[in-house]
Amino acid sequence: MINYLPPELTYSVSHAFINAGIVRVPGVKLEFPVELGKLRIKNPIGLGAGIDKDGLLVGSIANSGVGFVTIGSVTLRPRLGNPKPRIVKYPHLKAMVNAMGLPSRGFMDFMSRINNIIKVIGKFNVSLVVSLAGFSIEEFLIMLNRLRNFGIHAVEINISSPTYHGSWISDPKYLSELLNALEDFDTLFFIKMPLGVGLDFYKWIAHEAEKHGYGLTIANTLPVSEPRISVGYGGLSGYPIYPLVKALIRRVRAWGFRGPVIGLGGVFHGWQVIELLRSGANLVAVVTAFAYEGPFVFNRLLREFVSLSVRF
């Protein structure tokens, strides 16, 4: 019933409850380790970027039993995001469209909590992924330089937010310069891929990521028109994009991509986790299901995965 209330209201109230510790989710212990080079993640199920944008919810989420938590996307400077309304839910489709506009308290605000975040994720043996969004190479480099030596397990480079209006995707030369610049950092990178672009771009970015030793997050939301949102468009997430995500993971693997892959998009059930792992994902992230069910979704997903993984 709550998902038929105004989306912005449910978003704010649910986050306030989680942050205040009112919502407590019993954790599920699942050891199904994933090895990504030197990084060992205790299980493949985690939170994708877009829920805990500023690292305020990480304690409650880490306690649920997930293998990893993604914070962000964090931007260098504080951003209010787009004017409301910014979210439209389609409960009958298990989907939503959002045009949040990359709201963020800013990188320095996030860094003021980094030591506590590292302490919390260490307590629960959870891996930390920080998703960064930047409007220039310089913005990314400033944030990455400050993150050195903090024990961040991986960094997601968000080059596919609809807020960019396609700027990174439409300028492969500049994007290539960014990918080259990332080589100066001893970090496990995941490049967040878009949906709704041509095969030539997918082949190119998969080749570039392979060349540099980066991973891929597959995928961001699908840009669509939505007149009920203030800016008239947004990113479709949830169950309708799941077939696209699964097909894209299979395709990049068929092209020979050997790096790590985070599968993201429309996962609501344990069988989907297993299906994405079989399709070539190493990890599976959840966002829209969390928006519908809150952190309780991990309790259910982990239990479903345990019951099915005997056959995996």
Q: pLDDT, tens digit, for every residue of 186-231?
A: 999 999 999 999 999 999 999 999 999 999 999 999 999 999 999 9
pLDDT for 309: 74
Question: pLDDT over 90 for what percent of the chain?
Answer: 83
| pLDDT confidence tier of residue 296, bands split at 50, 70 and 90 | confident
| Displacement of CA 244 from its chain's centroid (Å) | 16
**CATH number of the domain located at residue range(s) 2-309 in this protein:** 3.20.20.70
**Of 246, 305, 272, 237, nearest in space to 64 by CA:** 305
H helices then E strands: how many in the chain? 11, 14
60: confidence class by pLDDT, cuts 50, 70, 90: confident
What per-residue confidence (pLDDT) applies to 34? 96
**What is the pLDDT at residue 95?**
97
Average pLDDT score over residue span 275-293: 96
The whole-number pLDDT of residue 22 equals 41
What is the pTM assigned to this prediction?
Answer: 0.93
Q: Over 50: is that where the pLDDT of 280 sits?
A: yes
**With 50 as the cut, is the pLDDT of residue 52 above it?**
yes
Region 62-73: mean pLDDT is 94
Position 69 confidence tier, pLDDT thresholds 50, 70, 90: very high
How far is the C-alpha of 164 from the C-alpha of 148, rounded, in Å?
Answer: 26
Contacts of 215 (CB under 8 A, 6+ apart): 36, 154, 188, 189, 190, 191, 209, 259, 260, 261, 262, 282
Residue 143, Ramachandran bin (φ over 0: left; ψ between -120 and 50: alpha; else beta): alpha
Mean pLDDT of the chain: 91
Q: How far does CA 126 lie from the centroid of its chain?
A: 15
Neighbours of 49 (CB within 10 A): 28
Q: What confidence tier does 310 reach under pLDDT thresholds 50, 70, 90?
A: low
